[in-house]
Structure 1
């Protein structure tokens, strides 16, 4: 009851504060990878550790959200290159990382820079409007009271930024079939030298939908948040999307010298549907090229 009273008091007291607001929010983004299902049983632990170290720069990043009442720009914080970047499939996956993301809450527009295999695109889309369910659960994030909200988000089948290691049956909780799997393991092991599958496309999967959990604060009454996320009555301070957690570590409100928010304009302008079609065409081409080079069926002579 005390928590509910506090929330109501905050909602009433912030109405005057909401007239003019600007600021910067710093977010730490971290994505975990299930290495148990990555690379198959042939990959030893030392090799998995090496891959994780190479992927660290892709999996752990710092972003800055510069915002005002209606607009925002979300960018990765610039950092010195450490060298030794990923190669092969890791380099391909890095092509799916978004560049600067501009949102206009008033016009419901999002402009997103993307560099895909050396080509620059500017995706012109609408802000993702999720069906947020605001609950009663709350917690403190720094000095701000944050309220929990959840929503289900549908994922495009060509959104490789959401790709994850393909899960086995046990991970899906299908224990009834595990016994059958045990019986077939010997057969699989017997034929593994002949049918070894090194196709990286078969080692990943893209979920059809994911649960998004957000923690927003009504103390900063802007309906904005990191990346494409928005639509709650307060700034989103924490997001959990599948294996990715984005947590706000610092907020600077109403700075004297506020950065100007400008929409990006570099790259070929395309719709989200057009961009996804470009990705699909390229992925199909890469898959065929890989298999044509003998990615499948090695050892059959």
Structure 2
């Protein structure tokens, strides 16, 4: 209990002392992937892992807003393949950019296809513990969240644990992808098989303007419904083509 009170005290003091905005660059670390298929997919999965491990993301923030975006790769490697890189983003990291307004409690997700998906009253029920460690000389505390999902195998609700390490001395409730709401910046986040690690932390005394993407937004349910319709149309077209070939 004393540790939690101490954390809150640090948060109160630092709110008055620290800069108005900043940027964090994150590197990617992947857990060992289990290659169930020993055939041609093993090589493909290994390639995906290599591309994902070399990706970088940036979190820009001010007191009221944040953006989490992919840092475009300028690879000098002649074998670099942007299509493979995009597949790795879909499979291992994220193919979307995220924008969050703390005052309005509103999140906009810019999908890979350019569609803007809006979520309001987004909330993550973090459980903050007393376990701590230092990241780049910042004292961080561990927080966990149980995210629910429907299992494809059982069709039942199951949970995956998200682990975040946040720094109370950096009093901004932002973090990678769609995870925020802690009393401090998230400097490390483990989500499924992927860990986002803060590699560069830059704080500024002036306020950086965080611009949200412009355009029509839709809800997450609407977006998922469109994806299902598109997938169904593709499947129908494929079946028709197969029937023609059989004739």
TM over 0.5, yes or no? yes
Alpha-carbon separation, structure 1, partners of 2:240 and 2:33: 29
Alpha-carbon separation, structure 2, partners of 1:73 and 1:227: 9
Alpha-carbon separation, structure 2, partners of 1:244 and 1:208: 19
Alpha-carbon separation, structure 2, partners of 1:132 and 1:246: 18
Equivalence for 1:13: 13
Alpha-carbon separation, structure 2, partners of 1:280 and 1:30: 31
Instruction: Give the Å deviation of 1:126.
Output: 2.2
**Structure 2: gaps (5+ residues):** 243-247
2:174 is paired with a residue of what secondary structure? coil
1:53-64 aligned within 5 A = 53-58=47-52, 60-64=54-58
**Structure 1: gaps (5+ residues):** 158-165, 168-204, 295-301
Matched, 1:260 2:212: no
Larger Rg: 1 or 2? 1
Alpha-carbon separation, structure 2, partners of 1:220 and 1:270: 33
**Corresponding residue to 2:100 among 88, 103, 106:** 103
RMSD of aligned residue pairs (Cα, Å): 3.5
Alpha-carbon separation, structure 2, partners of 1:249 and 1:22: 17
Equivalence for 1:209: 159
Equivalence for 1:26: 25
1:53 is paired with a residue of what secondary structure? helix
Judged with a 3 Å threshold, the aligned counterparts in structure 2 of structure 1 residues 138 and 54 are, in CA distance, closer, same or farther, namely: closer
Judged with a 3 Å threshold, the aligned counterparts in structure 2 of structure 1 residues 293 and 64 are, in CA distance, closer, same or farther, namely: same
| Larger displacement relative to structure 2 (9-18 or 138-147) | 9-18
Instruction: Give the Å deviation of 1:289.
Output: 5.6
1:220 is paired with a residue of what secondary structure? coil
2:35 is paired with a residue of what secondary structure? helix
Instruction: Give the Å deviation of 1:59.
Output: 5.1
TM-score (norm 2): 0.79
**Corresponding residue to 2:169 among 219, 227, 231:** 219
Conserved? CA contact 2:20–2:205, under 8 Å:
no
**Corresponding residue to 1:142 among 107, 131, 136:** 136
2:115 is paired with a residue of what secondary structure? strand
Alpha-carbon separation, structure 2, partners of 1:288 and 1:236: 44
1:31-70 aligned within 5 A = 31-32=30-31, 34-37=33-36, 40-41=37-38, 43=39, 48-58=42-52, 60-70=54-64
Deviations 1:185-211 (A, max 9, x none): xxxxxxxxxxxxxxxxxxxx9x84311
Give the total of aligned pairs. 236
Deviations 1:17-71 (A, max 9, x none): 26x621111111334463422xx35x16xx6235422553245421111101110
2:125 is paired with a residue of what secondary structure? coil
Judged with a 3 Å threshold, the aligned counterparts in structure 2 of structure 1 residues 91 and 235 are, in CA distance, closer, same or farther, namely: closer
Alpha-carbon separation, structure 1, partners of 2:198 and 2:205: 18
Equivalence for 1:278: 226
